[in-house]
Chains A and B, each alone.
Chain A
Amino acid sequence: GIQVEQSPPDLILQEGANSTLRCNFSDSVNNLQWFHQNPWGQLINLFYIPSGTKQNGRLSATTVATERYSLLYISSSQTTDSGVYFCAVVGYSTLTFGKGTMLLVSP
C-alpha cells in the first residue's frame, strides 16, 4: 500500500513564527487531505488538495502530485494552532494517514 511520511515529527515555535510541514507519499494519489487534530481528538479538515495550491487565512497548502509531496504552511502562528497535523492520501478508495507532526506554539 501507499506509504505516507510526514516531517518534522515535532515542532516547537514561538507565537508569530511561520512554519512548513511536509508530507511525502510513495505512489500516485487521487485525493490528499490535511487535518488538524485538537487535544480532544477531533480531526478538523484543513484542506482537500489532490493537486495545486489553496489558501485559507493564515494557512495554505501546495500539492505537487507529480513529485509526490505536499506542503502545509502556517504563518503568524498562534497558540491555538497547537496540536497534531495529519496528512492523509487516497490511492484507491481509503485514506492512509501519516504519523503526524506535533506542533506546539508557545506564547
Chain B
Amino acid sequence: DAGVTQSPTHLIKTRGQQVTLRCSPKSGHDTVSWYQQALGQGPQFIFQYYEEEERQRGNFPDRFSGHQFPNYSSELNVNALLLGDSALYLCASSSLGLAGGGAYNEQFFGPGTRLTVL
C-alpha cells in the first residue's frame, strides 16, 4: 500500500518565479491538506481540498493556490515567490467520509518538498 507521495523532493527557484508542487494521497483517501513548515517551526496549515474544491484555508495570501484532480491527487501553486516562501511543504491525506465526520480522521504525511527561494 503506497503512502503519500510528493514531487519534487527539492526545488530551487528565484524571487518572482512561480512553482508547482504535487501530491498523491494514500490509497483510499479523498482529502488532501497542504502545510508549510519553516525552519525550527511546526507545520502551518495552508488549505485543504475535498471533492476538487478548497474546503478550508489558513492564513496564507492568494499567491498560494491549489487544485485537486478527479483521482484525488493535488497541486500547490505559489506565484511571485518571495524569499520567505523558502520552507518544507508537506502534503497530508485523510479520508473525509460521506458524512463529513472524517474531518477528524487520522492524517498521514508525505516526505515533503523542500523549496529554496534565492
Beta-carbon contacts under 8 Å, B91-108 to A = 92, 103-108
Shortest B39–chain A CB gap in Å is 11
Assess whether A50 is in contact with B104, with CB atoms less than 8 Å apart: yes
Complex contacts, B41 vs chain A, CB 8 Å: 99
Main secondary structure of the interface of A (DSSP, over half): strand
Beta-carbon contacts under 8 Å, A14-62 to B = 30-31, 33, 35, 40-43, 45, 48, 50
Assess whether A93 is in contact with B42, with CB atoms less than 8 Å apart: no
Contacts between chains A and B (CB distance < 8 A), count: 59
Assess whether A95 is in contact with B104, with CB atoms less than 8 Å apart: no
Interchain CA distance A45-B42 in the complex, whole Å: 15
A86 touching B107 in the complex, CB below 8 Å, given contacts A42-B112, A94-B56: no
A83 at the interface (CB under 8 A from B): no
**Contact code string B77-99 (vs A, CB < 8 Å = 1, else 0):** 00000000000101010000000
Complex contacts, A100 vs chain B, CB 8 Å: 42
Assess whether B106 is in contact with A31, with CB atoms less than 8 Å apart: yes
Interchain CA distance A99-B92 in the complex, whole Å: 18
Complex contacts, A30 vs chain B, CB 8 Å: 103-104
B88 — nearest CB in chain A belongs to which residue? A41
Query: CB < 8 Å: which of A35, A43, A50, A93 contacts B103?
Result: A93
Complex contacts, B92 vs chain A, CB 8 Å: 95
Interchain CA distance A42-B37 in the complex, whole Å: 11
Interchain CA distance A93-B58 in the complex, whole Å: 11
A95 touching B112 in the complex, CB below 8 Å, given contacts A33-B107, A100-B42: no
A92 touching B103 in the complex, CB below 8 Å, given contacts A41-B88, A98-B42, A99-B42: yes
